[in-house]
Amino acid sequence: MEFQYISNNADQTKAFAKKLASYLQPGDVIALEGDLGAGKTTFTKGLAEGLEITKNVNSPTFTIIKEYKGTMPLFHMDVYRLENSDEDLGFEEYFEGLGVTVVEWAHLIKDQLPPELLTIYLTHSNEGARNIKLVPAGKRYEELCKEIMQ
Ligand code: ADP
Ligand code: MG
Note whether ipTM > 0.90 here: yes
Mutation probe of ligand 1 site: the residue of 42, 47, 81, 102 with most atoms within 8 A of C-beta? 42
Closest ligand relative to 123 C-alpha: 1
Question: Rounded to whole angstroms, how far apart are CA atoms 51 and 73?
Answer: 8
- Going by C-alpha positions, the residue among 124, 107, 105, 114 that lies closest to residue 38 is 124
Whether the pLDDT of residue 56 is over 80: the answer is yes
Which whole-number Å values give the CA distances from 121 to 53, 76, 93, 134, in the listed order? Answer: 23, 17, 24, 7
Residue of 11, 37, 33, 39 whose CA lies nearest to 118: 33
pLDDT above 80 for 8: yes
**Distance (Å) from CA 45 to ligand 2 centroid:** 10
Q: Which helix (H) or strand (E) holds 46?
A: helix 40-50
CA of 37 to the centre of ligand 1 (A): 5
Nearest ligand atom owner, CA of 39: 1
CATH of domain 10-121+135-144: 3.40.50.300
Number of other residues whose CB lies within 10 A of the CB of residue 92: 12
Q: Give the CA radius of gyration of the chain.
A: 14
Q: pTM of the predicted model, to two decimals?
A: 0.96
Q: Which ligand 1 atom sits closest to the C-alpha of 35?
A: 3
DSSP string over 107-144: GGGGGGS-SSEEEEEEEE-STT-EEEEEEEESHHHHHH
Domain range summary for the chain, segments of one domain joined by +: 10-121+135-144
The whole-number pLDDT of residue 84 equals 61
